Amino acid sequence: MTIGIVGAGQLGQMLALAGYPLGLDFLFFDRSADTPAGRIAPLLAGEFHDETLLAELARRSDVISFDWENISVGALRRAAHGTRIAPPLSALAVAQDRLAEKRCFERLSIPTTRFASVDSRASLSRAVDRVGLPGVLKTRRFGYDGKGQYVLRSRADIEPAWDALGSAPLLYEEFVPFEYEVSIIGVRTRAGEIGVYPLNRNYHVDGILRLTLAPWIAPALARAAQRALHKLLEHFNYVGVLTIEFFVHRGRLLANEIAPRVHNSGHWTIEGAVTSQFENHVRAIAGLPLGATAPRGHSAMINLIGTMPAAHSFLAEPGLHWHDYRKEPRHGRKLGHCTINESTASRRTARAKQLLPRLYPQLALRP
Ligand SMILES: Nc1ncnc2c1ncn2[C@@H]1O[C@H](COP(=O)(O)OP(=O)(O)O)[C@@H](O)[C@H]1O
Ligand SMILES: [Mg+2]
């Protein structure tokens, strides 16, 4: 069986690495073969909207998935010609548009931030009146790693925020002075079997995930996150892995966004869960039974961003796992990650505290 995947980044690479032992083949589609997944699997190179190439991907695949969200839903639907696509394009379409995403949360009674749609300078001004200050202006589409966002602290920021982002459809939402951030990752099969990973606690700096601690033990929050996850999985008749990011504010969850795919905050599951998120995504879309999602010990995942440290001095750390995506270094770019696994939560957190200053000397990140 061949799994076709649009996007050949590190997520695609980790999907293929998880699928090969199951006897599955992979075919990727991306702009260049010089990509993390392109180095370990066959790849079709072309522009993402190229329907001839997408149709070839569909013809040569038994099921199509994606490791990247900013692809054309219409082009993929037209090119698929009956080849199954998982996760469903309806979920991808919602995840691509922050306004559709917020409305979907509202429809399913999943608490989220106050928001307003913005498509003109006057409507931004009205949105600020209605939602209040401080707030965050975000592009509805194409945002990732905090890109396409502008924080407004006073009305004087309306002008520069509009100048910075005003050429695209926008969403304005309240700035949430959250206690912390969490995410939940779940997986659903075609037959409706559901697996849920434990809660992740996530630390972002400048909009980019730096550190995840998992499992994060917070039973009431975990129950609320699971309820939201089940609602979304059933709503979309979902197949594959789905992630929800939340703010924890006044002890309650506010949904921030969804990702219809494997997620950076779940990288720890490679070494820290019975079955990784990557393997379970592949199992679900290939029509195989799910593997257990239970954690093995307590994990901390640290992203390696901008420059790749030399592995040598870190590999000597007991129980540390190193993942180099072999990408060109660039400011703010995710180049790799490392995971440590410990027998207790307090040992795990103590290890993360020791490692973080070595990897992020310039950042005050305190788990
Ligand atoms: N309304 C908000 N209030 C406070 N912080 C926010 C808000 N929106 C985003 N952030 C911060 O920026 C990060 C990235 O924003 P997010 O909306 O998740 O976009 P993306 O991950 O697609 O870039 C969040 O994880 C959070 O740390
Ligand atoms: Mg996010």
**Mean pLDDT in each 10-residue stretch from start to end of the chain (367 residues)?**
98 98 98 96 96 97 96 95 97 98 98 98 98 98 93 97 95 98 98 98 96 98 98 98 98 98 98 99 98 98 97 94 98 97 97 94 83
How far does the centroid of ligand 2 lie from the alpha carbon of residue 257, in Å?
6
| Ligand 1 close to Cβ of residue 142 (< 6 A) | no
Distance CA 138, CA 40 (A): 36
How far does the centroid of ligand 2 lie from the alpha carbon of residue 246, in Å?
9
Continuous H helices in the chain: 10-19, 51-59, 73-80, 89-96, 98-107, 121-131, 158-165, 219-235, 269-272, 277-285, 312-315, 345-359
Provide the residue ranges of all domains of the chain, joining segments of one domain with +.
Answer: 2-85, 114-174, 180-359
End-to-end CA distance of the chain: 43
Q: What is the pLDDT of residue 357?
A: 94
| Ligand 1 close to Cβ of residue 176 (< 6 A) | yes
Q: What is the pLDDT of residue 361?
A: 84
How far does the centroid of ligand 2 lie from the alpha carbon of residue 256, in Å?
7
| Ligand 1 close to Cβ of residue 180 (< 6 A) | no
Q: What is the pLDDT of residue 166?
A: 87
Contact (CB, 8 A) for 201 and 212 = yes
Nearest CA to ligand 1 atom 12: 207
Contact (CB, 8 A) for 340 and 355 = yes
| Ligand 1 close to Cβ of residue 257 (< 6 A) | yes
| Ligand 1 close to Cβ of residue 146 (< 6 A) | yes
Q: What is the pLDDT of residue 114?
A: 98
Q: What is the pLDDT of residue 4?
A: 98
Distance CA 14, CA 129 (A): 45
| Ligand 1 close to Cβ of residue 249 (< 6 A) | no
- Integer angstrom CA distances of residue 204 from 3, 201, 209: 32, 10, 4
Query: Tokens 């917070």 belong to which residue?
Result: 218
Contact (CB, 8 A) for 149 and 98 = no
Query: Of 256, 263, 265, 305, which is best to mutate to test ligand 1, by the most ligand atoms within 8 angstroms of its C-beta?
Result: 256
Between strands 334-342 and 320-324, the pairing is antiparallel
Is 27 in a helix, a strand, or coil?
Answer: strand
Distance CA 170, CA 148 (A): 9
Q: What is the pLDDT of residue 171?
A: 98
Q: What is the pLDDT of residue 365?
A: 83
Q: What is the pLDDT of residues 276-291, one digit of tens each?
A: 999 999 999 999 999 9
Give percent helix, percent strand, percent coil of the chain, each to the nearest 5: 35, 30, 40
> Which pair of tokens denotes residue 309?
């440290």
Q: What is the pLDDT of residue 359?
A: 93
Which CATH fold topology does 114-174 show?
Answer: Dna Ligase; domain 1 (3.30.1490)
| Nearest-ligand number for the alpha carbon of 136 | 1
Q: What is the pLDDT of residue 366?
A: 85
> Which pair of tokens denotes residue 188?
């659903």
Order of strands across the sheet that contains 84-85: 43-45, 25-30, 2-6, 63-66, 84-85
Q: What is the pLDDT of residue 64?
A: 98
Q: What is the pLDDT of residue 362?
A: 81
Let me know if 295 is exposed, middle or buried by CB neighbors in 10 A (0-12, 13-18, 19+): middle
Who's near 293: CB < 8 A, 6+ residues apart?
187, 195, 196, 197, 198, 269, 273, 274, 275, 280
| Ligand 1 close to Cβ of residue 256 (< 6 A) | yes
Distance from chain centroid for Cα 1: 26
Q: Residue type at 166?
A: G
> Which pair of tokens denotes residue 349?
């957190």
| Ligand 1 close to Cβ of residue 143 (< 6 A) | yes
Was domain 2-85 assigned CATH 3.40.50.20? yes
Distance CA 115, CA 128 (A): 10
Q: What is the pLDDT of residue 203?
A: 97
Q: Tell which atom from ligand 1 comes closest to the C-alpha of 135.
A: 1
Distance CA 280, CA 294 (A): 12
Nearest CA to ligand 1 atom 24: 207
180-359: which CATH architecture? 2-Layer Sandwich (3.30)
